[in-house]
A and B are shown apart, each in its own frame.
Chain A
Amino acid sequence: MSTDPNNIESLVNRRYAHGFVTDIESDSLPPGLNEDVVRAISARKNEPPFMLEWRLKAYRHWLTIQEPEWAHLHYPQIDFQDISYFSAPKSDKDRPKSLDEVDPKLLETYDKLGIPLHERARLAGVAVDAVFDSVSVATTFKEKLNDAGVIFCPFSEAVIEHPELVKKYLGSVVPHRDNYYSALNSAVFSDGSFVYIPKGVRCPMELSTYFRINAANTGQFERTLIIADEGSHVSYLEGCTAPMRDENQLHAAVVELVALKDAEIKYSTVQNWYPGDENGKGGIYNFVTKRGDCRGDNSKISWTQVETGSAITWKYPSCILRGDNSVGEFYSVAVTNNMQQADTGTKMIHIGRNTSSTIVSKGISAGRAQQSYRGLVRVMPQASGARNHTQCDSLLIGKECGAHTFPYMEIKNPSARIEHEATTSKISADQLFYCRQRGISEEDAVNMIVNGFCKEVFKELPMEFAVEAQALLNVSLEGAVG
């Protein structure tokens, strides 16, 4: 019988289902980072001079700063000279015009991941800008978006096709000086997604990008920029998974969102990168800077994330509530299992008048994992009538994991109304026995309890994503008990 509390630790132990490597020849730069590497990256992408200048400025700044150590994370020193900063599938120069031209092995990889691109696009009406390693290889539904005036393209394409937009907005939310990883990203970013929604346009479909890390030992530095012009609306979905690897893979993405007056951006992430094995070997290091700027009045930015992967997660999707009456939201489910570590949360910076923010963070720890919620709510002196509600819940499975909460509040306007609620609970042997006595298997019981715990966040996800997220959670925690 397996309700023995000693066995509760072991319901988490299912092998990473997406652990395989597609054999596509990579056109990679040798490991190491210097100005020549930055120039080489820019040259390979045929970038205009302003882009190179921007990269070099970031690189030079990066050299002067130190890796941050304040996070509640433990990992060996990263040797930034041991990483290759560019890797692209061979077919880079002749990019496929349609799926027929895409390397069949690549399509096979998507199939293994359960992401049949064409199926997905056709059935769900989702335009997919698939990033394989660092270069985007397939874009669908371009016409439909074109008709609406929406720009949704690989970042490298935007640099060439829409330099004025890139120049105006790149680095305007996350400047290259922002932090160590964003500086690094700014210097060496390979590709990513660019979205522009024109004034008054409601994007006709959910925009979706699947990221995937493939080539060994290649850091992945994505850059995403989404601009919602006045009165526009967009929902963007990001989903990730990676093959099994022994080396630690560094990932330092930057995502910038700009919402102008009356605009709304909804950004949803399901992240499932390789978390490492039971002993913490391998796994992705994920140091991400995600920030949204509610630049105009009555604008809204909503982050929803389901994080189940990565060995190390360092991530704080944030909102700058600059416009009056602007709204920021952060809904998060983070699952850490085995030896995974996550230090994640959000920052809500209230600047405009009558701004409001909502934070709902659900952390689930199993195995020997450590998880921290780190959140900042800052109300500036001029931000009269600011409101924040923070709810921060932790669920522990087993005895060896940990949950930590670091809420910071800096309230400089006396009219602010700030609420913070936090709970920590455990899936107890008694709860599992109770469910089993009702005929429900232990695994189903854990899924039921975990999904119940996360339900407030799942309901924020777009429908098809919510189903996927729930399945992913069940897989991530399979074997965690009994």
Chain B
Amino acid sequence: MTNILEVKNLQARIAGNTILNGLDLTVRAGEVHAIMGPNGSGKSTLAQVIAGHADYEVLGGSVTYMGKDLLELEPEERAREGVFLGFQYPVEIPGVNNAYLLKAAVNAKRRHNGQEEIDAFEFLKIARERMALLGMDASFLNRGVNEGFSGGEKKRNEILQMAMLEPTLAILDETDSGLDIDALKAVANGVNALRDPERAIVLVTHYQRLLDYIEPDHVHVLSKGKIIRSGDKTLALELENRGYEWVQEAASA
């Protein structure tokens, strides 16, 4: 299987605080990885560094995506190359039509790949299909980007964007946080529908609850900016029973 993402000895900081301390992670095509860990362990930092957020400074190590040095690319270039970040807190952009942003995003990627841009009709056709798949109401498209959306709607909108952009690597940052059980199931169904042998999905999550609905191939525990334990889905269940302290102690022993 192709290596989609290879993170080696990654160190990064924000506002003078070092958060990642030599993180290693390899994700192959077709795999779903879950990254778990207590608050402040560096889960979101990893997601933001991969997406290219300017507030995070990379101090060392490397991130290779599809054989390319990802850290060399601007955030929009990473996106067009197929890196998608589902945000923990999707931002509201009042006045900008959801469909408009989404079509601009789809076409930015198509241009980058030397494909012809799609027109409004074709776009709407595809968008409606994908929305039906996610159980979303068509009125979503005509609202301002995340404007006045409930927590669940925002997360579903992230999944819709993912479905439209068809990324090679999707990182979903705490997509389950703040969702009630129905919204969680809807989001999970969407993600499952997007599982693909060509695609890798990284779920960043605090709780194992999401993993009841999306079955990961690999589970990693992050602590103090390092992966301290990796395993299969049973690791998540064990964590649920024994807590993070158990792995942390085991790691320092």
Residues in A lying within 8 Å of B, measured CB to CB: 1-4, 425, 428-431, 433-442, 444, 448-449, 452-453, 455
Instruction: Report the Cα distance A298→B55, complex, angstroms.
Output: 58
Select B51's contact among A4, A428, A431, A437, beta carbons within 8 Å: A437
Select B96's contact among A3, A429, A452, beta carbons within 8 Å: A452
Instruction: Report the Cα distance A437→B55, complex, angstroms.
Output: 14
Among B52, B87, B96, B144, the one with the most A-chain Cβ atoms within 10 Å of its Cβ is B96
B93 touches A439 (CB 8 A): no
User: A428 to chain B: which residues have CB within 8 Å?
Assistant: 91
Select B95's contact among A430, A444, A449, beta carbons within 8 Å: A449
B76 touches A448 (CB 8 A): no
B85 touches A448 (CB 8 A): no
A425 touches B104 (CB 8 A): no
Select B76's contact among A425, A429, A440, beta carbons within 8 Å: A440
Q: Mark B87-104, 1 if CB is under 8 A from A, else 0.
A: 100110111110011101
21 example contacts (A-B, Cβ-Cβ < 8 A) are as follows A1-B52, A1-B54, A3-B75, A4-B55, A428-B91, A431-B91, A436-B52, A436-B74, A436-B75, A437-B75, A437-B84, A438-B79, A438-B101, A439-B105, A440-B101, A440-B108, A441-B76, A448-B104, A449-B93, A452-B96, A455-B95
Instruction: Report the Cα distance A428→B92, complex, angstroms.
Output: 10
Q: Mark B141-172, 1 if CB is under 8 A from A, else 0.
A: 00010000000000000000100010000000
Known: A1-B54, A439-B108, A440-B105. 19 other contacts (CB 8 A): A428-B91, A431-B93, A434-B90, A435-B93, A435-B105, A436-B74, A436-B76, A436-B79, A438-B105, A438-B165, A439-B80, A439-B105, A439-B109, A439-B112, A440-B108, A442-B76, A444-B104, A448-B100, A452-B100
B51 touches A453 (CB 8 A): no
6 closest A-B pairs (Cβ-Cβ)? A452-B95, A439-B79, A452-B96, A438-B105, A439-B108, A436-B75
Instruction: Report the Cα distance A369→B161, complex, angstroms.
Output: 36
Instruction: Report the Cα distance A429→B91, complex, angstroms.
Output: 10
User: A433 to chain B: which residues have CB within 8 Å?
Assistant: 51, 53-54, 75
Q: What's the minimum C-beta distance from B123 to chain A, rounded to whole angstroms?
A: 14
Instruction: Report the Cα distance A452→B99, complex, angstroms.
Output: 12
A438-B165, A439-B108, A440-B108 known; A1 vs B95 contact (CB < 8 Å): no
Residue of B nearest to A441 (CB): B76
Residues in B lying within 8 Å of A, measured CB to CB: 51-55, 74-76, 78-80, 84-85, 87, 90-91, 93-97, 100-102, 104-105, 108-109, 112, 144, 161, 165
A440-B101, A444-B104 known; A452 vs B94 contact (CB < 8 Å): yes
Q: What's the minimum C-beta distance from B166 to chain A, rounded to whole angstroms?
A: 12
User: A441 to chain B: which residues have CB within 8 Å?
Assistant: 76, 108
User: A429 to chain B: which residues have CB within 8 Å?
Assistant: 54
B74 touches A453 (CB 8 A): no
Residue of A nearest to B56 (CB): A1
B101 touches A435 (CB 8 A): yes
Instruction: Report the Cα distance A429→B100, complex, angstroms.
Output: 20
Q: What's the minimum C-beta distance from A65 to chain B, rounded to whole angstroms?
A: 42
User: B75 to chain A: which residues have CB within 8 Å?
Assistant: 1, 3, 433, 436-437
Instruction: Report the Cα distance A442→B135, complex, angstroms.
Output: 32
Instruction: Report the Cα distance A423→B81, complex, angstroms.
Output: 37
A430 touches B101 (CB 8 A): no
Instruction: Report the Cα distance A442→B77, complex, angstroms.
Output: 11
B76 touches A452 (CB 8 A): no
A1 touches B74 (CB 8 A): yes
User: A436 to chain B: which residues have CB within 8 Å?
Assistant: 52, 74-76, 79
User: B79 to chain A: which residues have CB within 8 Å?
Assistant: 436-439
Select A453's contact among B87, B95, B102, beta carbons within 8 Å: B95
Residue of B nearest to A428 (CB): B91
Instruction: Report the Cα distance A77→B98, complex, angstroms.
Output: 48
A2 touches B93 (CB 8 A): no
A430-B91, A434-B90 known; A439 vs B76 contact (CB < 8 Å): yes
Q: What's the minimum C-beta distance from B224 to chain A, rounded to whole angstroms?
A: 26
B53 touches A440 (CB 8 A): no
User: A2 to chain B: which residues have CB within 8 Å?
Assistant: 54, 74
A438 touches B161 (CB 8 A): yes
Q: What's the minimum C-beta distance from B252 to chain A, rounded to whole angstroms?
A: 35
Instruction: Report the Cα distance A448→B98, complex, angstroms.
Output: 11
User: A425 to chain B: which residues have CB within 8 Å?
Assistant: 94
Q: What's the minimum C-beta distance from B14 to chain A, rounded to whole angstroms?
A: 13
Q: What's the minimum C-beta distance from A416 to chain B, rounded to whole angstroms?
A: 30
